[in-house]
């Protein structure tokens, strides 16, 4: 029988995850040699034929308890090729990796093993360090993939919880407040209290919306958009009416040029406008106007939001569109340039439309956000 080429005990591989390895080897001597090598870093279960291995896998209710299968290619009964094909019909290469042990040096045998779904192979007589290193890599890759899947599952569940358990009661609070205000039977103090309740509910719903968008974006799928034909000029002006209502004492100057027609998600574009305009009003001196312009060009529409005031520090500009930015250190609440999740979500929404967003800020010119949006996908 082939034996490992290294007779000296191999040195430990540092920081190797202790995996659960199933070894399928019909030679008792070679099985014990491989088990002894792998057992230093992994929990090893040995099978002497393919049939008993597959039966145990079924009894184990799948591959959840297995990090790696080390499979001899030449087995009696159910061959390594058949076992590998069986596994790949049920489990992908990431969630159940297979490391093939083979004495064959023929290229077609190795090609056949990889085509059947093997992740990697080690030639007999194998080097102990090579076997340990390849096993370690496959176990680590599997563990990382499993952690990623669990993270995505958690985030999906989290989105569902936030969406239902927070948005639903907040929407009910807002609707109740609107009903009470429209009733007309409240005295002045009570009506003011209901207005504050309504405002707080709307503000919290906005925070929940931002949190949901942030989570979707961080999950890797981006924020979904639903494009349809619309006039972006009209979307911007309608969104600015909402912003003006929240800042009645401030001046918004609106400029429109060219055609605003294109394919966009109107609700999401309104979210972009509201975010940029609200930030400009919040962080600019009282008594100064905020200018918002939309300009139709040949194949895109350009949205610009400008405000006067102290410039953004260069180091803040560099990270402005990153999540959870709370402004430059050392500024008090009145000066804080914090944008929280807002500008991160703005960038994600603009990117979802195939566009770009940038910021320029200086003491002479103030702060300008420019959004370029192609008219179609």
228-374 CATH: 3.30.565.10
Residue environment code for 85-118, b if the CB has 16+ CB neighbours within 10 A, otherwise e: ebbbeebebebbbbbbbbebeeeebbebbeebbb
Domain covering 19-148 assigned CATH 3.40.50.1220 in the classification:
no
- Asked if domains 19-148 and 228-374 share a fold, the reply is no
pLDDT of res. 307: 94
pLDDT of res. 7: 46
pLDDT of res. 208: 79
Q: Give the pLDDT of the chain (377 residues) as one tens digit per residue.
A: 444 444 444 444 445 557 899 999 999 999 999 999 999 889 999 999 888 888 888 887 666 778 999 999 888 888 888 888 988 888 888 889 999 998 877 788 788 888 888 999 888 888 899 999 999 999 999 988 888 888 877 877 777 677 677 777 888 888 888 888 887 778 888 888 888 888 788 777 777 777 777 777 776 667 888 899 999 999 999 999 988 988 889 999 999 999 999 999 999 999 999 999 998 998 899 999 999 999 999 999 999 999 998 888 888 888 888 876 654 443 344 444 344 788 888 999 999 999 999 999 988 889 999 999 999 87
pTM (2 decimals)?
0.56
pLDDT of res. 325: 62
CA distance 116 to 71: 13
The domain limits of the chain are 19-148, 154-218, 228-374
Paired sense of beta strands 68-72 and 98-102, if any: parallel
pLDDT of res. 21: 93
Query: Crossing angle, helix 80-88 and helix 50-59, to 10 degrees?
Result: 20
- Cβ neighbourhood burial of 16 (10 Å; 0-12, 13-18, 19+): middle
What is the separation of C-alpha 182 from the centre of its chain, rounded to a whole number of angstroms?
42
CA distance 144 to 199: 44
Q: Which SS3 state, helix, strand or coil, does residue 359 take?
A: strand
Is residue 210 within 8 Å of residue 247, measured between CB atoms? Answer: no
Give the DSSP H/E element, type plus range, for residue 294.
Answer: strand 290-296
pLDDT of res. 370: 96
pLDDT of res. 134: 92
pLDDT of res. 17: 56
Contacts of 70 (CB under 8 A, 6+ apart): 21, 22, 23, 24, 25, 34, 38, 99, 101, 135
Paired sense of beta strands 356-362 and 366-374, if any: antiparallel
pLDDT of res. 1: 42
Give the DSSP H/E element, type plus range, for residue 253.
Answer: strand 252-257
pLDDT of res. 242: 86
The three-point CA angle 243-251-360 to 5° equals: 80
pLDDT of res. 214: 76
């Amino acid at each position: 029988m082939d034996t490992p080429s290294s007779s000296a005990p191999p040195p430990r591989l540092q920081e190797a995850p202790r995996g659960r390895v199933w070894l399928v080897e019909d030679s008792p001597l070679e099985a014990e040699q491989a088990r002894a090598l792998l057992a230093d870093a992994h929990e090893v279960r040995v099978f002497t034929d393919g049939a008993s291995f597959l039966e145990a896998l079924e009894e184990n209710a799948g591959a959840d308890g297995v990090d790696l299968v080390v499979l001899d290619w030449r087995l009696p009964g159910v061959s390594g090729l058949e076992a590998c094909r069986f596994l790949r019909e049920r489990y992908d290469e990431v969630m159940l990796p297979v490391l093939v042990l083979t004495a064959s040096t023929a290229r077609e045998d190795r090609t056949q093993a990889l085509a059947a779904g093997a992740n990697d192979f080690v030639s007999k007589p194998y080097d102990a360090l090579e076997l340990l290193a390849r096993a370690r890599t496959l176990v680590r890759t599997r563990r990382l993939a499993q952690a990623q899947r669990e993270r995505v599952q958690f985030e999906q569940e989290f989105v569902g919880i936030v969406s239902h358990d927070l948005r639903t009661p907040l929407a009910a609070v807002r609707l109740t407040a609107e009903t009470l205000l429209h009733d007309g039977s409240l005295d002045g103090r009570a009506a003011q209290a209901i207005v504050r309740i309504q405002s707080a509910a709307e503000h919290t719903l906005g925070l929940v919306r931002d949190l949901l968008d942030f989570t979707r974006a961080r999950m890797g799928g981006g924020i979904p958009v639903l494009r349809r034909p619309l006039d972006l000029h009209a979307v911007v002006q309608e969104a600015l009416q909402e912003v003006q209502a929240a800042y009645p004492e401030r001046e918004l100057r609106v400029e429109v040029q060219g055609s605003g027609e294109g394919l966009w998600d109107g609700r999401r574009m309104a979210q972009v406008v509201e975010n940029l305009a609200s930030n400009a009003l919040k962080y600019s001196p009282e008594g100064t106007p905020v200018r918002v312009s939309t300009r139709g060009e040949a194949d895109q529409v350009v949205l610009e939001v400008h405000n006067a005031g102290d410039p953004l520090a260069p180091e803040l500009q560099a990270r402005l569109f990153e999540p959870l930015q709370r402004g430059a250190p050392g500024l008090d609440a009145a000066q804080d340039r914090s944008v929280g999740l807002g500008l991160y979500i703005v960038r994600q929404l603009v990117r979802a439309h195939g566009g770009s967003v940038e910021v320029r800020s200086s003491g002479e010119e103030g702060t300008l956000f420019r959004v370029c949006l192609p008219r179609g996908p």
